[in-house]
Structure 1
Amino acid sequence: MFRANKCVSPLCVGLAIVFTGVAQATPITGDQEKVKPAATQLPAGPAKQPEGPARSVSVRRAELLKNACGEIATAAKNFGLPEKFLVRLLWQESRFNPRAVSSAGAMGIAQFMPGTAQWRGLDDPFDLSLSIQHSGRWLGELRQKFGNLGLAAAAYNAGPARVQDWLAGARALPQETRDYVRNITGREANDWIGMRDAEGGPETRKADCPPGGGLVALNAAPGAKAAAMPEKPDDVASPKRPAGSWALQLIGDRSKSTALLQFAEMRRQFPKILGSHAPEVVTRRLGGRAPAYWYQVRVSEVSRQSATMLCGRLKSAGGQCLIIRN
């Protein structure tokens, strides 16, 4: 994996102070790569329309799903994929949460790892449209490489090299990947070995987009767990709302993807300290005839005291940070 140098010098950290007060923060929430909310029962009759903030969240959720489904349809057409296949795969990845961040550092609706995103030319994994299009392109390439949708899904989850080794009998396929393939295609991973691309496609299993009851049924394949839409308002809340009043400034770079890559590496280096914290990206315009931008990555805390304690732990472990007001 590509490793970028961390920009935690006094100059980089100092930029957080110079530009304080003109930032536009974009907090990123979500801390699991495979979001598995508990199954819920559908109401027996018409549900009462929510009021106030709850209604606002429902509207945002509906808009998010509509946008995601439109982008999925476009990507499926552009890269020759069954639309239902792409719906299932992205739902399995993130439950359509464009701000999801896994414990391993995978980001966005398509759960690209920072190194993979940089390699694929995806500058912002949290951009819903770009992530879906890049996901479709990558799956199209994997389908061509391995010959069918099932093995393409396996390679998307475990990596092409792992799937190649598995097919060659050199390594086992992780159980997580086996479950992943079954949940998306309705078939076991072994069933896809040697299968022609036109055989056994997932089109025989219904999947609606936007997701709802159709995707509860979708995940009800043999051995799969039923899933429902996430109900937490924060799953679809406005990305402009700060997650906390205080924050730790950690990374700064001219490239957003590089800054996120550096944060992912820092979180792997200090998992007990930063493992449960999602990144917020702050964009600052540097100006000039050809305006440049500086991307800062920070993590929020609810109070100055908690931010000070977290920063102290990080410094004691060998890291660097700067406490700032969000």
Structure 2
Amino acid sequence: NCEVESLEGSHAPGDFFPVGPTSVIYTAVDVHGNPSYSGFVVEVIDIEPPEIEQQPDVFVFAEPGEEGASVSWEIPEVTDNCGVESLSGSHEPGDFFPVGTTVVVYTAEDIHGNTSTMEFQVIVMIIDPDIPEFADVSGFFTIDDGEICVEALQTIHVSNAVFEPGAQVNLVAGHSILFTPGVEIQAGANVHAYIDQDGTFCGDLTTLVSSTENDEAHDDELPDMPTETDVFRDPGLFFKVYPNPTEGVFTLEVLTHGETESMLVEVYSLLGGRIIQRELPLEGLHALDLTGHQPGLYIVRVMSGDKVGVERLIKR
């Protein structure tokens, strides 16, 4: 009924409020000193789930005669805007994994009950002890030879070879198939080159993806044969590595540009241990170095946005 002298609040519009309930009180005083109070509650609800560090896929080779392998990895880090309550995984580092692909799932929960999950694959590959690391293909191949399958864990070298009409030859390598100049594939020859991804090699050709086929080809229409420095590789890859094999230093070349500006490059040894991890621009050429590491087969894994590519690299 009289004039208001003042109005004061415990908080002002635009103030920062923490997660949870906060009481806001306003106090009004009239010209005669009579106070009155009014208030309300501001409640900030946390709906942001925790973030789990993405774990790269793990590649491991099982020992000959074994049906799987024990696999280790680093437990991922978890961050949250309020606080992490728990992190649980479907598997633990050091667990035994069967041959094939197993999905490992981590689940994180924050102090307010928000959850998130992260998945990665553990891929255990088996090596047939009867399959050689390298194989050489040369000589004449005719229809009388029947269907032939040549396999190698790492590389097949094709040199001084003639594939005559009716010849049926399958080449299956774990990493690369190299042709030298002078290889001749005549009209009517069937030559299939495969890069094996699951360890079946010549045991089951139906699971493999053909890299090159020359069915009823004509001499003047044959594709250019790659030289020793060229590799039959997955045509879907958005990068390539060379020289392959390498003495130590090799180049990773980006072939296509994606929506992101960077890529995560990782190099793994045969035992599944990560020996290189770099975040690099998604363009141009990048030099990487395996000097000081043991000769053998390495796996190069590149991730950019929703793209993931895997290439095999031999160090001499």
Which TM-score band (shorter chain)? under 0.3
Structure with bigger strand share is: 2
Greater Rg over alpha carbons, structure: 2
Work out which structure has the larger RCO, using CA pairs closer than 8 Å and 6 or more positions apart in sequence. Answer: 1
TM-score (norm. length: structure 2) = 0.22
Structure with bigger helix share is: 1
